[in-house]
Amino acid sequence: MPYVISSRCLDHLNLMCLDICPVQCVHVEEGVDRMCFIDPDGCIDCGACVPACPDSAIYLMEELPPGETRFAEINALYFRDQQAARALLA
Protein backbone atom coordinates (compact mmCIF):
# COMPACT_ATOMS: atom_id res chain seq x y z
CA MET A 1 0.00 0.00 0.00
CA PRO A 2 1.78 3.16 -1.14
CA TYR A 3 -0.46 5.90 0.33
CA VAL A 4 -2.77 6.01 3.34
CA ILE A 5 -5.44 8.51 4.35
CA SER A 6 -5.04 9.36 8.02
CA SER A 7 -7.24 10.68 10.82
CA ARG A 8 -6.89 14.22 9.52
CA CYS A 9 -9.60 13.34 7.00
CA LEU A 10 -12.10 12.24 9.65
CA ASP A 11 -15.27 14.32 9.36
CA HIS A 12 -13.66 16.73 6.86
CA LEU A 13 -14.30 15.01 3.52
CA ASN A 14 -12.97 17.72 1.22
CA LEU A 15 -13.02 15.18 -1.66
CA MET A 16 -10.25 16.91 -3.63
CA CYS A 17 -8.33 13.62 -3.71
CA LEU A 18 -11.21 11.88 -5.51
CA ASP A 19 -11.09 14.29 -8.43
CA ILE A 20 -7.30 14.30 -8.82
CA CYS A 21 -6.64 10.53 -8.67
CA PRO A 22 -5.91 9.32 -12.22
CA VAL A 23 -7.03 5.75 -11.44
CA GLN A 24 -9.99 6.54 -9.17
CA CYS A 25 -8.63 4.53 -6.25
CA VAL A 26 -9.89 6.95 -3.60
CA HIS A 27 -13.38 6.08 -2.41
CA VAL A 28 -16.02 7.37 -0.05
CA GLU A 29 -19.72 6.80 0.34
CA GLU A 30 -20.97 10.30 1.00
CA GLY A 31 -23.43 10.51 3.84
CA VAL A 32 -22.16 7.23 5.29
CA ASP A 33 -18.36 7.36 5.56
CA ARG A 34 -16.53 9.72 7.90
CA MET A 35 -13.41 9.81 5.70
CA CYS A 36 -12.03 8.85 2.31
CA PHE A 37 -10.13 5.60 1.73
CA ILE A 38 -7.36 4.64 -0.71
CA ASP A 39 -7.62 1.24 -2.39
CA PRO A 40 -4.23 -0.40 -1.76
CA ASP A 41 -4.58 -2.60 -4.84
CA GLY A 42 -5.58 0.24 -7.13
CA CYS A 43 -3.10 2.91 -6.05
CA ILE A 44 -0.35 3.39 -8.63
CA ASP A 45 1.89 5.37 -6.26
CA CYS A 46 1.70 8.57 -8.32
CA GLY A 47 1.30 10.86 -5.29
CA ALA A 48 -1.14 13.21 -7.03
CA CYS A 49 -3.51 13.03 -4.06
CA VAL A 50 -0.96 14.29 -1.53
CA PRO A 51 -0.77 17.96 -2.59
CA ALA A 52 -4.48 17.97 -3.49
CA CYS A 53 -5.54 17.23 0.09
CA PRO A 54 -6.23 20.53 1.91
CA ASP A 55 -6.03 18.73 5.27
CA SER A 56 -2.60 17.12 4.67
CA ALA A 57 -4.22 13.79 5.52
CA ILE A 58 -2.42 11.58 2.98
CA TYR A 59 0.93 9.96 3.72
CA LEU A 60 3.22 7.37 2.29
CA MET A 61 2.61 4.32 4.43
CA GLU A 62 6.16 4.27 5.74
CA GLU A 63 5.87 7.97 6.71
CA LEU A 64 2.66 7.75 8.75
CA PRO A 65 3.07 9.73 11.96
CA PRO A 66 3.10 7.86 15.27
CA GLY A 67 -0.44 7.00 16.29
CA GLU A 68 -1.67 6.94 12.68
CA THR A 69 -0.42 3.50 11.64
CA ARG A 70 -3.81 1.91 12.31
CA PHE A 71 -5.15 3.87 9.34
CA ALA A 72 -3.15 1.66 6.96
CA GLU A 73 -5.22 -1.28 8.23
CA ILE A 74 -8.47 0.70 8.12
CA ASN A 75 -7.90 1.86 4.52
CA ALA A 76 -7.16 -1.69 3.35
CA LEU A 77 -10.04 -3.18 5.37
CA TYR A 78 -12.52 -0.80 3.76
CA PHE A 79 -12.11 -2.61 0.42
CA ARG A 80 -12.73 -6.03 2.01
CA ASP A 81 -15.40 -5.14 4.57
CA GLN A 82 -16.75 -1.59 4.59
CA GLN A 83 -18.85 -2.12 7.72
CA ALA A 84 -15.86 -3.39 9.69
CA ALA A 85 -13.75 -0.42 8.61
CA ARG A 86 -16.52 2.00 9.53
CA ALA A 87 -16.87 0.33 12.94
CA LEU A 88 -13.19 1.01 13.67
CA LEU A 89 -13.88 4.73 13.17
CA ALA A 90 -16.99 4.88 15.35
pLDDT in tens, the chain (90 residues): 699 999 999 999 889 899 999 999 999 999 999 999 999 999 999 999 999 999 999 999 999 999 999 999 999 999 999 999 999 998
Would you kindly state where each structural domain of the chain is located, as residue ranges? 3-88
CATH number, span 3-88:
3.30.70.20
H or E segment to which residue 58 belongs: strand 58-60
* Cα–Cα distance for residue pair 56/36, rounded to 1 Å: 13
Q: Which residues contact 35 (CB under 8 A, 6 or more apart)?
A: 5, 7, 9, 10, 11, 12, 13, 28, 57, 89
CA 20 to CA 51: how far, in whole Å?
Answer: 10
